[in-house]
Structure 1
Amino acid sequence: MTSTTKHKIAFVIFDCDGVLVDSEPIANRVFMEALNRAGVAITLSELFANYVGLSLEQGLARINQNYGVLLGNDFLVDYKVARDAALAEEIKPIAGVTDVISQLSLPYCVASNSEASKVEKMLSLTGLLAYFEGRIFSAADLGKPKPAPDVYLKIAAQFGVNPAACLVIEDTTTGVRAGVAAGMKVIGYAATTSAQALTEAGAFQVFKTMPEIQQSIIQLSAGTQSISERDGVL
């Protein structure tokens, strides 16, 4: 059964990597190079297809499972040093996202699978930190990384907002599934993940540009946009 209902959102939650900052290509390139040096023959396309959106710990666990290679603390330390150096030199905000944030009339925050310290550093490097100071939430630091919904539910509880009134902006299937599991509406940003994959993960809308997302937020905040529901699930 399919019906169409108007919904009004009251809170917006942004993912960080790939939604606020263009860190995904940089971090994954450095990760691939580190893995190759450690004897793991993996390509950048394989990383984007199977690892983007995971926390670092989740990614390493999957590497161990798929390649039989257990990477220790020395690998982590060396990778993080190389990653942070590359990010400091190359990272930029996602095109158009500053306009989305600066013109947003609703309360908002950022929820990432990265450590809060890394998120803060990336936002600082891209000039976005002033928008998110005091509103940075880390699923990794919480110990329940996406696709677990815990970080999203924590945000809803802390800000006293119904999860159903929250809108999540995500660019990976891992993040989309987390938002859906929390009972929130999710818009997919199809920059590094296909629109089809994001839709199949549960995103009710998928866009390729930030101006499109901005327009959708405006309509949803005003309650003028209809959302199709199937069997009561957005």
Structure 2
Amino acid sequence: MKSRLKAIIFDCDGVLVDSEILSASVWSEMLQERGVQISPNEINEALQGGNIYTSIDYLEQFVKVSNRMAVETEYRKRSAIKFANELQPVKDIESLLKDINLPRCVASNGPLSKIKMNLKNTDLGKYFDADLLFSGYDYGFKPKPDLFLHACQAIGFLPNECLVIEDSLVGIQAAKAANIPSIYFNHQVETVDKENKIYGNMKDVRTYILSQINSM
């Protein structure tokens, strides 16, 4: 018998907060100052779902990086300022969080400090237990399944009782490796692909989840 949906695991960047294009704009500025012109959109597409290490690897394709730690520090400082001033929740995510009363957690490749700050800056922290925010820095980066498997264990449900909401293929790969059902939230999608659970806006994601809850 198929398990009913009992809990939701949210990615953070690109699912809860509209941060990825801001991050890409910081990398774009850093490259521009080093003589390389690449648009934030192009960088965002290349880096989506990655982590700071894969981002610096990307930077090294275009410029020499003699001190990776210094580059990371520079990025962290710049992005913290940009996020504090410009970060917004993903459109309609708050309605989903208000209307769907299921246990939930956050599992992100970003550091825990960044997850907490992003939720604080967008006033979404009130929808999550502070003890149920999990980072790839602590449990392994996606596409490995370890982060999601830890999240399932922490919230007390089996993988097939949970649903992952992701906006990157790396995250979807991690969910599949963990045998957790998933939704691929892709901002560029205009038409819903119900068969593959691909959605372009949070209103449709909310409708899908409510239909799953009501059908059980």
Q: Shared topology, TM-score over 0.5?
A: yes
Residue 113 (structure 2) aligns with: 117
Residue 203 (structure 2) aligns with: 211
Return the alpha-carbon distance in structure 1 between the equivalents of residues 154 and 208 of structure 2: 25
Whichever residue aligns with residue 17 of structure 2, its letter is: V
1:39 Cα deviation after fit: 4.6
2:64 to 66, 69, 81: 69
1:17 Cα deviation after fit: 0.5
1:83 aligns with 2:79: yes
Return the alpha-carbon distance in structure 1 between the equivalents of residues 172 and 190 of structure 2: 12
| Contiguous gaps of at least 5 residues in structure 1 | 225-234
Q: Report the secondary structure of 1:93's partner residue.
A: coil
Return the alpha-carbon distance in structure 1 between the equivalents of residues 175 and 124 of structure 2: 23
Return the alpha-carbon distance in structure 2 between the equivalents of residues 6 and 212 of structure 1: 23
Q: Comparing 55-64 with 132-141, which one deviates more in the overlay?
A: 55-64
Q: Comparing 81-90 with 43-52, which one deviates more in the overlay?
A: 43-52
Which of the two has greater strand per residue? Answer: 1
- Identical amino acids, percent of aligned pairs: 29
Paired residues, what number?
Answer: 212
Q: Report the secondary structure of 2:91's partner residue.
A: coil
Q: Report the secondary structure of 1:134's partner residue.
A: helix
Does the CA-based 8 Å contact 1:207-1:213 persist in structure 2? Answer: yes
Does the CA-based 8 Å contact 2:92-2:203 persist in structure 1? Answer: yes
Return the alpha-carbon distance in structure 1 between the equivalents of residues 63 and 31 of structure 2: 12
Return the alpha-carbon distance in structure 1 between the equivalents of residues 38 and 137 of structure 2: 24
Does the CA-based 8 Å contact 1:109-1:136 persist in structure 2? Answer: yes
Q: What is the TM-score of this pair, normalised by structure 1? A: 0.82
Does the CA-based 8 Å contact 1:55-1:140 persist in structure 2? Answer: no
Q: Report the secondary structure of 2:9's partner residue.
A: strand
Does the CA-based 8 Å contact 2:145-2:175 persist in structure 1? Answer: yes
Does the CA-based 8 Å contact 1:195-1:206 persist in structure 2? Answer: no
Residues 69-102 of structure 1: per-residue CA shift (max 9 Å, x gap): 3352222111111111011000111111111111
> Which of 1 and 2 has higher RCO (CA within 8 Å, sep 6+)?
1
Does the CA-based 8 Å contact 1:35-1:41 persist in structure 2? Answer: yes
Residue 136 (structure 1) aligns with: 133
1:152 to 145, 148, 167: 148
1:18 aligns with 2:10: no
Does the CA-based 8 Å contact 1:10-1:107 persist in structure 2? Answer: yes
Return the alpha-carbon distance in structure 1 between the equivalents of residues 80 and 157 of structure 2: 35
Q: Report the secondary structure of 2:131's partner residue.
A: coil
Whichever residue aligns with residue 205 of structure 1, its letter is: K
Alignment of 1:1-234 (within 5 A): 8-64=4-60, 66-67=61-62, 69-70=64-65, 71-132=67-128, 133-142=130-139, 144-191=140-187, 204-223=196-215
Return the alpha-carbon distance in structure 2 between the equivalents of residues 35 and 184 of structure 1: 37
